[in-house]
Structure 1
Amino acid sequence: MKLFVVIALTCCIAATWAKPGSTYTDKWDHINVDEILESDRLLKGYVDCLLDRGRCTPDGKELKTTLPDALEHECSKCTKKQKEGSDKVIKHLVNRRPDLWKELSQKFDPENIYQERYKDKINAAKA
């Protein structure tokens, strides 16, 4: 799920590294996640960045840097807004873009560690 939480962050923020015990920056919390999810072009840009097959915006680069930490630590440094956005992105990818979900999972969770850890949340997104 961490993978997927951060994938959500892909669409809503580019979090920067935080100091221990703090949260990622809320600099991008105002981003309209729905607008990104509704735009194939915008969504593809973020996914291509994460999959190393396209250019990355500055926020995309930060996301790629932050993703491993967020996956490992269950998005513990995410703001409330980032967690809400990530849930929205997970639901969208699982239900409407399983092709992208699969590609991102293969790259960031090849051993299904996070999908297994968060299978209840992933299954809830399917409902």
Structure 2
Amino acid sequence: MKVLALLLIAVACALADDKYTTKFDNIDVDAILKSDRLLKNYVNCLLDKGNCTPDGKELKEHLPDALETECSKCSEKQRTGTEKVIRFLVNKKPETWEQLKKKYDPNGEYSRRYEDEAEKRNIKA
């Protein structure tokens, strides 16, 4: 019985690791996008040009994996927020978008991989 209990705990822990934390899902993405100062702080964190908030650090840590796995570990709220941020950066801050692409997609691998999805969502990345 103890072995079964330990096995169930191990499986539960493994399944929990299959998703990114949701503890930052209530961050007000719109407020960040409306504030040049806040947005710049997050971008500087991602580009290794400044300090990171705890949520910025979490984003920076998981961004490469999310790109590689098509955000398979993202919550629905994280997916929605990601699309909102990408749409904003592409349309309103193209120079920032290019900086982030240069760092996180230097060979254009992800741009090519997600091109069809971006087109379906009417994002001109």
TM-score per shorter chain, which class? Answer: 0.7 to 0.9
1:56 counterpart residue number: 52
TM-score by length of 2: 0.81
1:126 counterpart residue number: 124
Tell which deviates more after alignment, 58-67 or 98-107. 58-67
Counterpart of 2:123 in 1: which secondary structure? helix
Is 1:32 the counterpart of 2:21 in the alignment?
Answer: no
For the pair shown, which has the larger CA radius of gyration, 1 or 2? 2
Q: Deviations 1:49-80 (Å, cap 9, x if unpaired)?
A: 01011111122112111111111100000000
Q: Is the 8 A contact 1:51 1:104 kept in 2?
A: yes
Q: Which runs of 5+ in 2 are unaligned?
A: 1-12
Counterpart of 2:81 in 1: which secondary structure? helix
Higher relative contact order (CA 8 A, sep 6+): 1
Q: Is the 8 A contact 1:93 1:100 kept in 2?
A: yes
Moved over 3 A (4+): 18-21
TM-score by length of 1: 0.80
Counterpart of 1:23 in 2: which secondary structure? coil
| AA partner of residue 33 (structure 2) | L
Aligned counterparts of 1:88 and 1:63: Cα–Cα separation in 2: 15
Counterpart of 2:71 in 1: which secondary structure? coil
Counterpart of 1:125 in 2: which secondary structure? coil
Aligned counterparts of 2:85 and 2:117: Cα–Cα separation in 1: 12
| AA partner of residue 25 (structure 1) | T
Is 1:101 the counterpart of 2:97 in the alignment?
Answer: yes
| AA partner of residue 106 (structure 1) | K
Task: Return the match for 1:67 from 63, 66, 79.
Answer: 63
